[in-house]
Structure 1
Amino acid sequence: MDGTNATTTGAGALHFLDGYQNSFLVRVLLALLAICVCTRLVSSYTFRSIKYGKAHHVTPPTLPYWIPGLRHALSLAYDSKGFMAKCFKKYGDGTPFFLDGADQRMLIVLDPDHVKSMLQSAQHFDPNPFIHDQILGALMGSPQAAIDYYNSPEANTDYIQTTHIRQHTTGTNLGLLDKRVCDLLVQSIGESLATTPGTEWKEIPDLFEFVTYHVTYAIATTLLGSSLVSGYPDVVSDLWTHIEATDQFFMGLPRFIIPKAYAARDRLLANMRKYAVKSEELRKHNQVNTTWDPVAGSGLLQEREQIYSELPNHDEYARSAQTLGLLYGGTSLTIPVTFWYLFETLRDPEVHAQVLSEIQTYSTEGPAKYNFMQLTTRPLLQSLHAESTRMYSSNLTVRQVVSPVYNLDDKYTITKGTQVFIANKMNGQFTPGWARVRPEALARPLDVFWAERFVIGGGKGDEKRGRFSDAGLAGCWTSFGGGEHKCPGRHFARNITIVTLAVLMGEYETELVDVDTANKMVPGPNDTAFGTVRPKGKIAARIRRRA
């Protein structure tokens, strides 16, 4: 009986397998698998032969891939941030390499010599093609007529994008911005404590969201004016919905795939168009306070509106995209860095004591509250900001080759039209580069936060003799870009973090509820290559008025 059953079962299985092997679908799948495996083997061989070959003036290699034609497209579409991070982890030894999303090629550079060369060679590398087509066009929704003007030979918007912003975010103008952000933070946080008596503690379930809301509110009101912000209560949430969809807009995903992101951007632009019309009307009748106006906003924005309104094809639709770009630029990186600056200060008792001492030393009587001109030059506070941007400012710097040919070094050559990307967080953790220019900064590993990494001279904690320095790090620490196109608003970005600490530690008392639990919420330094660096979960804190 058992033998008969075994024979019958075996015959059935063979018949099933025979049919399975003859299945057209199976043959197709096996053929596709064979194609993918062969593609991987060939692309891996090509990558290695270029990387380890002795030839000169060759194009950098493309990373191995499985699917012909599409190459890395599916991986980039599914999780571009995580996929790029994995590429750095496996291939990030300093060799430049291409990622190819169906012929949309991105050259990734990591070696500090390549990075420095690229950032300091403005005649060969131009940020504007990416700014105009991707940032203003795809991300900010600028009308095509305005994009065409930006890309035309007669256009020159560098003054507005760099020099003009720099004029308004340095010197006396920077001091005015600092004070307004400070006053707005005190007001906004004070309103959130309105129902909390005296010096009692108020629980903060999610410190990241708390900082994000209040600092975004303060920046938006400082730049755009109180009328727009108060009349548009969802401006903060809509802005962050838009920011978090950045890579999806860059990939050109249609509205039906990311409807919430498009809807948020639509509302932002609609409100900024209303602002543009009101501001223009007030300016025509000389009815604005040119320093800061509740309706017309900051002097920076008022002048930008005036300058852009005189350019061809710049109606309120084009100007609203520029205004959204200004707000995006002032918040998307600054807010996460501000949070992590605060978090790293709160979780380290020694750093907390030093920072609080600095804040109290430079507090003042009267409406000014704090001497930010002095606070922002303190070595420890500057180093804390630089280290926070190095670890947590996860942005990309992009340049396009505009020369016919450019030699990255003796081996690699790139041609006109190549889009070159720097992943600034990964660049800031490239140990071989730091070892060449500042080995003493490696006293603690680059994947560990070290508040005094950018302080040189003096002993441990010796603030009187130590000084802040980023000298020699042009190819290693690139959070604000570099060269002629270095971020013009970087001083304002730094000051926002210090102003926020002054308010949350000087005006108020803020502490983490459970430091050990909070430490578990810190994401891995190499989890993603770009994008907002958020905690892995909610970090509980509490706040009260300082007695």
Structure 2
Amino acid sequence: MGIVQDSIDSMNPQGLSLWCLVLPTLFAILGAATYLVTLASHMWTRYNGKDGQEKLKRWHSQDWGDNTPLSVQLPAFRGYLITQPEHFGPLLKATRFLSNKKVMAELMRDVFGTPPRVMPLYLGDNSGIEAKPIQGTSVPEYQRIWNSQHADSAKYLTGDALRGLAARFTSILSEAMSKADPHDPADSGEWVTIEDFYPWWRARVFAAATTALFGPHLLRLNPTLEQDFWNFADSIPTLAKRYPAWMAPRAHAARNKMLDNVKRWHAHAREKSEYRSCGDDAPNWDEYWGSRWLKVRQRWGQDTNIMDDDGLASEDLALAIAWASSANANAIPMAFWYLIEIYRDPSLLSRVLPELENAVKSPVSPGRDEPAAFDISCVLSSPLAQSIYAEVLRMRISLLLNRCPDKKDHRIGPWILRKGAYMTLSTAYIGYHGKAWELYTDSGRAPINEFWAERFLVPSDKITPPPALAKVKAPTERPLDTRETSEQKPRFSTKHLDGIWVPYGGGALMCPGRHFAKQEMMGSVAVFAHYYDLEVMTGKAPPMNDKFYGMGAQQPSEKTPVRIRRKVGG
């Protein structure tokens, strides 16, 4: 201490003045350099213009092949990129040894704004998702958030609850589309040109999907909710990279606006309706809370003694994005791709349209004000309509499925992945894997990088295992060959695609809302086809927006000009 003091005392005033100038300047230069390097990295990732899917496929297959896991730096963490087709199925099913809890907790914090005081609820729950806690854990039942989310979503997105939710969505959408907008040229009854079909489409479906789950008051209390939602959805890739507010002010502002919207709705719903009245004998739907599921979530969160208003808002913001396999952020774009694929091909449309029209149970008649009623069960069971649905998801869902061995090291083939390491599986990578899909290309006439409506249709006789997956599990079915005789009635199936058709993930962590997502997607297409005619002017689907690679449903990167005409209603 004496040496330090002597050195300070020996400095002359001029030296002290010099250091007072130099040190702040050095810190400023270092800070600016750090900012510029980080900003340059962000701008390169955001605006380089190359397609992420093609980069990933070309980079790994050309440089490394499919023979080894590869350590890569992803937006928010470093992980092992798994690309061997035979490993996808087993890894996704190994939920006893692998979880996505770590990634989900970080997403709640970084993307959905869960405050630090609430994060221990997510990070401290090591008891698993099953009803019986993992042996050796001691998390109180009222704080087992992963089990609660898993059990409740399964309960309210299946069976009678699912059917009621899907019917409500279709009814709300039909009622909205039955009313012509005098300010919308598309409702004039004449053929008109719309410069970009996607925003026109999503504006009409968003309100129906939101009202079906959350009730009417979330939208009523927040008139700008739709635009706020899409502003936030567009900001998710930036938030996932963990940029602080001073570097990404728009992204953070978009999230805060949505959180304020949810908190405003929560406060109103709590004032008007008792959320604790949510037992099995309570109505399945409430004007203020929407689905009974929302009241159950509110009660559970309040009873944790950790959740507060901010934490509850983050929870329901995540649900607004991700419910029913992202009913808004995923199902709306996927229904867009479904419409574009069938309406750009007149021969395909002529086959699909009669099946969609079968869903109309009480069509709109001249002079009637009532909207058409729908029963989409016939569409959901149609082999061709389902095959188009599965093909659209294969091509346009891009997720990075993350798993982590949080108990001990995990063996995959000849390799051992260390405890705590991330494993990442790209659905877009495996969905376009040439060898894995080799038998599903109509003998080469339908390349895997092109849309083929019949790719998921199978006959019922012979068995042929795909070579890429033969070591894992021989499939029970083979794909349809269009050269086969017409007597063979095809049927829809994905059972033979274990581990390579994974738009919803796999195993116990598979998206619990996948059933509603399918019904929303196909139901909205059936409703649209009843009220409107459509022509895709370019005759082709637009390219996908690389910004959303790994984030779920891919959105179009270019405008989609169409000709449209109202057929009935209004």
Q: Which of 457, 470, 491 does residue 494 from structure 2 map onto? A: 470
Aligned length: 471
Stretch deviating more after TM superposition (309-318 or 474-483):
309-318
Where 2:245 maps in the other structure, the secondary structure is: coil
Q: How far, CA to CA, are the matches of 2:224 and 2:300 in structure 1?
A: 28
What is the match of residue 9 of structure 1?
A: none
The superposition leaves residues 347-406 of structure 1 with CA deviations (integer Å, 9 ceiling, x where unpaired) of 111221222110222321287722222321211111111111110112221111224211
Stretch deviating more after TM superposition (419-428 or 281-290):
281-290
| Consecutive unaligned residues in structure 1, runs of 5 or more | 1-70
Q: Which of 365, 369, 375 does residue 373 from structure 2 map onto? A: 369
What is the match of residue 182 of structure 2?
A: 194
- Runs of 4+ in structure 1 displaced over 6 angstroms? 71-74, 285-289, 461-464, 524-527
Q: CA deviation at 1:272?
A: 0.8
Q: CA deviation at 1:530?
A: 5.1
Q: Is the Cα contact below 8 Å between 1:403 and 1:415 reproduced in 2?
A: no
Q: Which amino acid in 1 is paired with 2:405?
A: V
What is the match of residue 101 of structure 2?
A: 128
Q: How far, CA to CA, are the matches of 1:276 and 1:315 in structure 2?
A: 12
Q: Which amino acid in 1 is paired with 2:79?
A: M
Corresponding position: 1:251 with 2:241: yes
Q: Is the Cα contact below 8 Å between 2:174 and 2:373 reproduced in 1?
A: no
| Greater fraction of residues in helix | 1
Could you tell me the percent identity over the aligned residues? 24
Q: CA deviation at 1:286?
A: 8.1
Where 2:450 maps in the other structure, the secondary structure is: coil
What is the match of residue 136 of structure 2?
A: none
Corresponding position: 1:229 with 2:229: no
Q: Which of 512, 523, 546 does residue 535 from structure 2 map onto? A: 512
Q: CA deviation at 1:169?
A: 1.9
Q: How far, CA to CA, are the matches of 2:374 and 2:487 in structure 1?
A: 20
> Which residues of 2 match residues 106-505 of structure 1 at below 5 A?
106-133=79-106, 135-153=107-125, 154=139, 155-191=143-179, 193-195=181-183, 199-284=189-274, 290-329=283-322, 330=326, 331-365=328-362, 369-410=373-414, 412-435=415-438, 444-457=446-459, 460=482, 465-505=489-529
Where 1:472 maps in the other structure, the secondary structure is: helix
Q: How far, CA to CA, are the matches of 1:157 and 1:479 in structure 2?
A: 24
Q: Which amino acid in 2 is paired with 1:416?
A: K
What is the match of residue 91 of structure 1?
A: 60
Summarize the Cα distance change of 1:287–1:476 in structure 2 as closer, same or farther, 3 Å threshold: closer
The superposition leaves residues 307-361 of structure 1 with CA deviations (integer Å, 9 ceiling, x where unpaired) of 2222221122111111111110122222221110111011111221222110222
Summarize the Cα distance change of 1:441–1:379 in structure 2 as closer, same or farther, 3 Å threshold: farther
Q: How far, CA to CA, are the matches of 2:440 and 2:283 in structure 1?
A: 45
Summarize the Cα distance change of 1:526–1:256 in structure 2 as closer, same or farther, 3 Å threshold: closer
Where 1:449 maps in the other structure, the secondary structure is: coil
Query: Normalization by structure 2: what TM-score?
Result: 0.75
Where 2:496 maps in the other structure, the secondary structure is: coil
Q: How far, CA to CA, are the matches of 1:463 and 1:341 in structure 2?
A: 28
What is the match of residue 465 of structure 2?
A: none
| Consecutive unaligned residues in structure 2, runs of 5 or more | 1-36, 126-138, 364-370, 460-479
Q: Is the Cα contact below 8 Å between 1:277 and 1:316 reproduced in 2?
A: no
Q: How far, CA to CA, are the matches of 2:174 and 2:333 in structure 1?
A: 19
The superposition leaves residues 486-522 of structure 1 with CA deviations (integer Å, 9 ceiling, x where unpaired) of 000001111111111111101x123125133x44x33
Q: Is the Cα contact below 8 Å between 2:112 and 2:314 reproduced in 1?
A: yes
Where 1:137 maps in the other structure, the secondary structure is: helix
Q: How far, CA to CA, are the matches of 2:214 and 2:321 in structure 1?
A: 12
Q: Is the Cα contact below 8 Å between 1:345 and 1:352 reproduced in 2?
A: yes
Q: How far, CA to CA, are the matches of 2:347 and 2:76 in structure 1?
A: 51
Q: How far, CA to CA, are the matches of 2:124 and 2:233 in structure 1?
A: 28
The superposition leaves residues 403-440 of structure 1 with CA deviations (integer Å, 9 ceiling, x where unpaired) of 42111102x221011111122112101121233x8676
Stretch deviating more after TM superposition (211-220 or 71-80):
71-80
Q: Is the Cα contact below 8 Å between 1:76 and 1:83 reproduced in 2?
A: no
Q: Which amino acid in 2 is paired with 1:233?
A: P
Q: How far, CA to CA, are the matches of 1:77 and 1:537 in structure 2?
A: 20
Q: Which amino acid in 2 is paired with 1:142?
A: T
Q: Is the Cα contact below 8 Å between 1:362 and 1:375 reproduced in 2?
A: yes
Q: Which amino acid in 2 is paired with 1:466?
A: P
Summarize the Cα distance change of 1:542–1:286 in structure 2 as closer, same or farther, 3 Å threshold: farther
Q: CA deviation at 1:202?
A: 4.9
What is the match of residue 540 of structure 1?
A: 561
Summarize the Cα distance change of 1:264–1:101 in structure 2 as closer, same or farther, 3 Å threshold: closer
Summarize the Cα distance change of 1:351–1:162 in structure 2 as closer, same or farther, 3 Å threshold: farther
Stretch deviating more after TM superposition (75-84 or 419-428):
75-84
The superposition leaves residues 8-32 of structure 1 with CA deviations (integer Å, 9 ceiling, x where unpaired) of xxxxxxxxxxxxxxxxxxxxxxxxx
Q: Which amino acid in 2 is paired with 1:172?
A: D
What is the match of residue 4 of structure 1?
A: none
Q: How far, CA to CA, are the matches of 1:332 and 1:427 in structure 2?
A: 22
Stretch deviating more after TM superposition (169-178 or 197-206):
197-206
Summarize the Cα distance change of 1:524–1:361 in structure 2 as closer, same or farther, 3 Å threshold: same
Q: How far, CA to CA, are the matches of 2:69 and 2:40 in structure 1?
A: 21
Q: CA deviation at 1:146?
A: 2.1
The superposition leaves residues 99-155 of structure 1 with CA deviations (integer Å, 9 ceiling, x where unpaired) of 13799412111212221121011122101111112x211111012222211222414
Summarize the Cα distance change of 1:308–1:374 in structure 2 as closer, same or farther, 3 Å threshold: farther
Q: Which amino acid in 2 is paired with 1:484?
A: A
Q: How far, CA to CA, are the matches of 2:307 and 2:419 in structure 1?
A: 30
Q: Which amino acid in 1 is paired with 2:355?
A: E
Q: How far, CA to CA, are the matches of 1:113 and 1:73 in structure 2?
A: 39
Q: Is the Cα contact below 8 Å between 1:390 and 1:477 reproduced in 2?
A: yes
Where 1:421 maps in the other structure, the secondary structure is: strand
Q: How far, CA to CA, are the matches of 1:244 and 1:464 in structure 2?
A: 46
Summarize the Cα distance change of 1:477–1:265 in structure 2 as closer, same or farther, 3 Å threshold: same
Q: Which amino acid in 1 is paired with 2:72?
A: L
Q: How far, CA to CA, are the matches of 2:276 and 2:548 in structure 1?
A: 52
Q: How far, CA to CA, are the matches of 1:285 and 1:304 in structure 2?
A: 9
Q: CA deviation at 1:442?
A: 5.9
Query: Normalization by structure 1: what TM-score?
Result: 0.78
Q: Which amino acid in 2 is paired with 1:183?
A: S
What is the match of residue 57 of structure 1?
A: none
Q: Is the Cα contact below 8 Å between 1:136 and 1:142 reproduced in 2?
A: yes
Summarize the Cα distance change of 1:76–1:114 in structure 2 as closer, same or farther, 3 Å threshold: farther
Stretch deviating more after TM superposition (158-167 or 248-257):
158-167
Q: Is the Cα contact below 8 Å between 1:427 and 1:476 reproduced in 2?
A: yes
